[in-house]
Chain A
Amino acid sequence: MLHDAPQFLVALEQSALASAIRQSSWAYMTANVGHILALMVFVSAVVVMDARLLGAFAAAPPASVVRPARRLAALGLLLMAATGSMLFAAEATHVAGNPVFQVKAALIVLGILNALLVGRLLREALDEAHAFEPLPTAAKACAMLSLTIWFATAACGRLIAYF
């Protein structure tokens, strides 16, 4: 279990915090439930944001939808990271070596990079676009990429338990 895992993961798993999470009757369960609730917040915001970039809710100026949805998504992501870190710490050596978790971690990096890219590339286009005005193709491509990455991330999250 602990053998052949990198030292920092062993240290994390054996830390007082990780032990407390495992030994508590409610901490792990709470983190697990919280992770799912945070996912609901995150993914609903992402879907609304990406749907607007793809042309849905056309009557609303893009920025009026995308900006608040983006803030909500950031909050959801923060909550996911907090609860996910608890789940990870409790079983760090096992989870880090899980191939599906490794794919998930890479997808999260890609998803965040994509989101940052959208923020940078589309800021002006978004500010200038009016209701019913089509957005640049790049916006649609980023939105499709975002949806693909985050749905794949969620699928990987659930699949960790099966590999």
Chain B
Amino acid sequence: MHKKLALIGLGLAVPTAVLAHHGWGGYDAAHPITVAGPIETLKYENPHALITVKAPDKVWTVTLAPTSRMQSRGAPPEFVAVGKVVSAYGYASTVDKDEMRAERITIDGKTVELR
């Protein structure tokens, strides 16, 4: 019984010992923003594709959509390739000040809805 209690204690202690870090935090949908600039990096990966964009104010991490949805909406990796100039309309993270989630992106005059 003591062993079991100790195990329960361990189970509770270990996860909280992992340094707290946000995951999918909230996004400020009340104040949409547009981040525009050249794409610096691309991670065309699941669960969400990510680009970093060199905007005039700072480098933003822009969260896009799952890769299967990107593909079906007409945004394959070539569309969001590094070096292209993107305009991303979406919402800033309330947790990570350099991250935003894109509702839609426009590249080369073509707009793709991501939601």
**B interface with A by C-beta (< 8 Å):** 4, 7-8, 11-12, 14-16, 18-26, 43-47, 66-68, 71
Flag the segment in A58-66, A75-83, A98-106 that touches B: A98-106
**A98 and B21 contact, CB distance less than 8 A:** yes
Contact residue range for chain A? 35 or more
The answer, among A22, A28, A109, for a CB contact under 8 Å with B8, is: A109
Q: Which 7 A-B pairs have the closest CB atoms?
A: A97-B21, A109-B11, A28-B46, A98-B23, A102-B15, A22-B45, A105-B15
Q: Kindly identify which residue among B11, B19, B67 contacts A4, using a CB–CB cutoff of 8 Å.
A: B19
**Given contacts A29-B46, A105-B15, A110-B11, are A99 and B20 in contact (CB under 8 A)?**
yes
B21 to chain A: which residues have CB within 8 Å?
A: 4-5, 93-94, 96-98
Closest chain-A Cβ to B2's Cβ sits at a distance in Å of: 13
**Which of chain B's residues have a CB closer than 8 A to the CB of A29?**
46, 66, 68
Question: Smallest Cβ distance from A139 to chain B, in angstroms?
Answer: 18
Supply 28 A–B pairs (Cβ within 8 Å), ascending by A: A21-B46, A22-B45, A23-B45, A25-B71, A28-B46, A28-B47, A28-B66, A29-B68, A32-B47, A94-B22, A94-B23, A95-B23, A96-B18, A96-B21, A97-B21, A103-B15, A105-B14, A106-B12, A109-B7, A109-B11, A113-B8, A117-B4, A160-B23, A161-B24, A162-B24, A163-B22, A163-B24, A163-B25
- Whether the pair A101, B11 counts as a contact (CB closer than 8 A) is no
Q: Mark A53-91, 1 if CB is under 8 A from B, else 0.
A: 000000000000000000000000000000000000011
Whether A25 contacts B15 by the Cβ 8 Å rule is: no
> Taking beta carbons and an 8 Å cutoff, which residues of A are in contact with B?
4-6, 9, 21-29, 32, 90-91, 93-103, 105-106, 109-110, 113, 117, 160-163
* Chain B residues, CB < 8 A from A4: 19, 21
Bound CA–CA A125/B66 (angstroms): 51
Instruction: Check B11–A163 contact: CB distance below 8 A.
Output: no
Residue on A with the closest CB to B46? A28
Q: How far is the CA of A93 from the CA of B21 in the complex (A)?
A: 8
How far is it, in angstroms, between the C-alpha of A97 and the C-alpha of B23 when the chains are bound?
Answer: 7
- Report the bound CA distance from A99 to B22 in whole Å: 8
* A137 → B minimal CB distance (Å): 18
The contact of A6 among B16, B18, B67, by CB within 8 Å, is B18
